[in-house]
Structure 1
Amino acid sequence: MKILVADDSRVMRQIVIRTLRQAGFDGHDVVEAENGRDALDKVHSEAPDLVLSDWNMPEMNGIDVLDALRSSGSTVPFGFVTSEGSEEMRTRAEQGGALFLIAKPFTPESFESALAPVLR
């Protein structure tokens, strides 16, 4: 399977990828996107099986990426890995079609719990 990790911080993308491995999801191909616009483009060019996106990014934020994907008919599984996890954000993510929202700081266990239904 292919996982797209979208975050404007290169360091945070590496932390997410490391946590994926620690959670037991190390056999998957990973594609990185450095902002929301890049993520949207790579969903179309790379056809990932899952998108893990930050919420706050330049050029296009994560919720706008999700909205654009759903508006275009894409049903790619989508989840947020973000620094904010307010109830309002969780509700907005769910309404937009996100499967989960993992708030930072996160653990391999939180990744395993959220991603196992999607990746296994």
Structure 2
Amino acid sequence: MIGLCLGLAGAVWAQLPVTDFTLAWNHTIEKIRWEEDYRVTEQGLVLGEARVKGNGAGMEVPDGARLKNGSWHYQRQLPPLQPLKLGRTPEAGDYQLCVDGACQPMSHWLGPPKASQPTVELWSCG
């Protein structure tokens, strides 16, 4: 079964048996929540809809976004991401992975963010 791997440079630190997930985080300065929905495919992670609660320093609402239930909803056309690289440091706070509406910080699977390991990658794996 295809799933989601978390790690770096092909080394798997955690593997989740999911086909869809939401990546969520708070902007480090504005403290505004961002969410991106992904589908896990053999070609990589396919970005679906994304949402942001507002705009601020360095975070403009994309053209074509529509306001719904207090968030701006939008879609970007990107090829499958394989891997999706994320900066993860103690100063920035942690990402959340949400599956079926239940969210957990990445630290649930990987431990807390560390300055000595400022990057994590997500990719589809079997």
Q: Choose between structure 1 and 2: higher helix proportion.
A: 1
Q: Report the TM-score, using the length of structure 1 for normalisation.
A: 0.25
Q: Choose between structure 1 and 2: higher strand proportion.
A: 2
Kindly indicate whether structure 1 or structure 2 has the higher relative contact order, using CA contacts under 8 Å at least 6 residues apart. 2
